[in-house]
Amino acid sequence: SYDLTQPPSVSVSPGQTARITCSADALPKQYAYWYQQKPGQAPVVVIYKDSERPSGIPERFSGSSSGTTVTLTISGVQAEDEADYYCQSADSSGTYRVFGGGTKLTVL
């Protein structure tokens, strides 16, 4: 099976920078996407195609990729950013999608 690996949790203080990583063998061939999910809500995309930011998403959210790892960076973290974050990509053939296990971002 194809897996995306994320750290289970990341903690930062308000105003600091949070970095959440996602790694897998197929990432160099397929784009990665990042979704934010708050309790009781459906996920919302915050980064698509590795580093593109949808309209309406604050500039403090950015994405990057290097080798088999993609990273979601949240600069100047705010209390409202506390949520679960999921990376998503596709297998090397692009046939099916897969989500990472999710990272809980805690704002201290």
Partner 1 sequence: QLQLQESGPGLVKPSETLSLTCTVSGGSIGSSSYFWGWIRQPPGKGLEWIGNIYYSGSPYYNPSLKSRVTISIDTSKNQFSLKLTSVTAADTAVYYCARDEVASGTTDYWGQGTLVTVSS
Alpha helices in the chain (DSSP H): none
Asked if residue 104 lies in contact with residue 36, where contact means CB atoms within 8 angstroms, the answer is no
CA atoms within 13 A on the CB side of 34: 30
Rank residues 77 and 102 by Cβ distance to partner 1 and give the closer one.
Answer: 102
Q: Least distance in Å: CB of 102 to partner 1?
A: 4
Closest CA to 21 of 32, 29, 12: 32
Residues 66-95 that bind partner 1 (CB under 8 A): 84, 86, 88, 95
Identify the three-state secondary structure at position 81: helix
- Is 96 among the residues that bind partner 1 (CB under 8 A)? yes
Asked if residue 59 lies in contact with residue 73, where contact means CB atoms within 8 angstroms, the answer is no
Residues 1-60 that bind partner 1 (CB under 8 A): 1, 31, 33, 35, 37, 42-43, 45, 48-49, 52, 54
Rank residues 57 and 78 by Cβ distance to partner 1 and give the closer one.
Answer: 57
Q: Under the rule (CB under 8 A), what is the footprint of partner 1? A: 1, 31, 33, 35, 37, 42-43, 45, 48-49, 52, 54, 84, 86, 88, 95-102
